Chain A
Amino acid sequence: MFLPLNLHSNIFYMETKDLQNIASQVRRDIVRMVAQVSSGHPGGSLGCADFLTVLYFDSMKHSNAPFSMDGKGEDLFFLSNGHISPVWYSVLARAGYFPVADLGTFRRLGSKLQGHPSTDKKLPGIRIASGSLGQGLSNAIGAAETKRLNGDDAFVFTLHGDGELQEGQIWEAAIYAAAKKVDKLIATIDYNGRQIDGDVNDVMNLGNLAAKFTAFGWIVYEMDGHNIDEIKATIAKAKAGAGQGKPSVIVMKTEMGKGVDFMEGTHKWHGSAPNAEQLASALAQLDETLGDY
């Protein structure tokens, strides 16, 4: 139903149904990838499948032919919470950055698809390593500053976990971006309320996130991370509102484990893989729309 993208994807128009179909396949990829190596992080990956699908198949101007590390003229994306690599790898493969068959090498010895994203194995689509949390916002700000110097008006996007906001470096970066008017930057927070040890509110409550970012000088948007049309509209709004001297952040409400009933409503699938029986149950809930890898 669609082909790998050769040029800037946002010149194509995708119906909501098309994007939902892609997201469904991405979810199948995620659970199959983690199940085959009995490791990895399915919970947050499933929760961000809709967002990353919209970003790569609708919102971002980007190119995979060939992948350019410098990405001049392209919108860039930084995954700061690198542990949800399965969703990123699936979306990149489905967007034509590398063969979907490579998803079968995830976390295996010698694979380009490392447990956490890295550049050393030259996987197309990855521009910097992530995994140790809290660094992606700084990386993205640096990339945005370089774009400004280069006269490149493309956007820089990031994704962060909500638990990740407990890292101090995030707030160093948040102060910098507002103080220095880094305004082509659109950060998104996966606000699923869960982290490894339990609910974020119990582990270390973040308080009022929107109010915090507002106080830090950011433009704040909120959206439902599982409503394709709302994701499209919110990103479009953030892009339209950018360039006015303030960075933007989207607080995205999601459900960890979204799409697989037994993975929803708990933090337990943050970093655990399903067994064969659980995998079968998960796959029965997710339509194979584009063909499994």
Chain B
Amino acid sequence: MIEFEIFGNKDTRSGFGEGLHELGKSNNEVVALCADLIGSLKMDAFVKDFPERFFQAGISEANMIGMAAGMTIGGKIPFTGTFAAFSTGRVYDQIRQSVAYSNKNVKICASHAGLTLGEDGATHQILEDIGMMKMLPNMTVVVPCDFNQTKQATLAIAEHEGPVYLRFGRPVMPIFIKPDAEFKIGKADVLIEGTDVTIVACGHLVWKSIEAAKVLEAQGVSVELINMHTIKPLDKETLLKSLAKTKCVVTAEEHMRAGGLGDSVAQVITTEFLVPQEYVAVNDSFGESGTPMELMTKYHIDAQDVVDACLKVIKRK
């Protein structure tokens, strides 16, 4: 029986807020910048306790990213905070030149990613950010799956030298990663061991995949679930080991099909170990207003979509 201990329900952005606050206490070089979204990013505690290390950039994301790059000169570790849409698309050129090409130790922390931002609609629901960020040389891309893991990831990226994109979100979701779990950038978690199909998921789709695995288990299908929290560098070793066993894969993400986790996995399987793959992702479409869960259903990134994709891919073996 697939069972997970649940440690309550929280949003991943609050995990970031707690992690950042802890870094404030433990690492004097950590500074934080925000573009007028302190409350949304849950940066309040850091701002209150470390005001001299907090920089309010106003609604000027380009300047914020450029400043963060400059702040590394002299040894600071800047964490920038705004919505994912404004952390990436709006400032792509600044990230490309000042951060990635210059290889600066900037942590771009992006909340409200994907459809689950909800009612604000498509202007804010970025579904292309993982693709944009993973294409940049020197950039590490981390998409943690729940509150605990987002906190652990926030602490871990401070120790990693180099540019990082950390993606998290708004909806309240179950917490199923242990509070004391080890988080290692680039080392995926095998959350469920199985033999019939491998699901590779990130972010909120990890919980949806757990729900799917339970449904499939009841139908006699044995699922192996990999929480691929680091999209770049991708943990090929864990992926290939699982595929050797199951011989098929479903990728699940709150992102566009093009350029996301699924494409990263596809690159590995087409070049190293060819097996059938199905995508659970948004298919070349903008989102719209609605509740997070309504949107996941409508845009086919819900647990049922993961179930359907698993059954389909197993038939293609």
Q: Which residues of A contact B (CB under 8 A)?
A: 69-72, 76, 78, 118-120, 127-132, 134-135, 137-147, 149-150, 152, 168-169, 172-173, 175-176, 179-180
Contact = CB atoms under 8 A, between A and B. Distances in A.
Max chain B C-beta neighbours (<10 A), residue from A118, A130, A141: A141
B60 A143 contact: no
Given A71-B74, A146-B75, A138 B67 contact: yes
A127 B73 contact: yes
Interface stretch (B98-106, B144-152, B246-254): B98-106
B63 A169 contact: yes
A172 B60 contact: yes
Nearest to B73: A143
Contact of A146 (B60, B74, B93): B74
Nearest to A136: B66
B158 interface: no
B71 A138 contact: no
B73 A145 contact: no
A136 to B, nearest CB: 8
Contact of B74 (A118, A120, A131, A143): A143
A128 B75 CA distance: 14
Contacts of B55: 145, 180
B65 A138 contact: yes
B74 A152 contact: yes
B63 A138 contact: yes
B56 to A, nearest CB: 8
B62 interface: yes
Given A128-B70, A172-B60, 12 more contacts: A70-B74, A128-B104, A131-B97, A132-B96, A132-B97, A135-B97, A135-B98, A138-B94, A139-B69, A139-B70, A142-B78, A145-B70
A15 B96 CA distance: 42
B22 to A, nearest CB: 20
A176 B66 CA distance: 12
Given A120-B103, A145-B67, A139 B98 contact: yes
A139 B98 CA distance: 8
Given A129-B101, A168-B62, A140 B70 contact: yes
B73 A142 contact: yes
A286 to B, nearest CB: 33
18 contacts: A69-B73, A119-B101, A128-B69, A129-B101, A132-B93, A134-B62, A138-B63, A138-B66, A138-B94, A139-B66, A141-B63, A142-B67, A142-B69, A146-B31, A149-B52, A149-B53, A149-B76, A175-B60
A70 B60 contact: no
B102 to A, nearest CB: 5
B94 A70 contact: no
B40 to A, nearest CB: 20
Nearest to B55: A145
A62 B63 CA distance: 26
B97 A150 contact: no
Given A128-B98, A149-B31, A169-B94, A138 B74 contact: no
Interface string B46-58: 0000001101011
Contact of B62 (A69, A149, A169): A169
Contacts of B71: 142-143, 145-146
A155 B73 CA distance: 13
Given A138-B62, A142-B66, A172-B62, A72 B97 contact: no
B68 interface: yes
Contact of B63 (A71, A143, A172): A172
A175 B57 CA distance: 10
A180 to B, nearest CB: 8
Nearest to B31: A149
Contact of A150 (B65, B74, B101): B74
Nearest to B67: A142
A173 B53 contact: no
Contacts of A142: 66-73, 78
Given A128-B104, A138-B98, A169-B94, A176 B70 contact: no
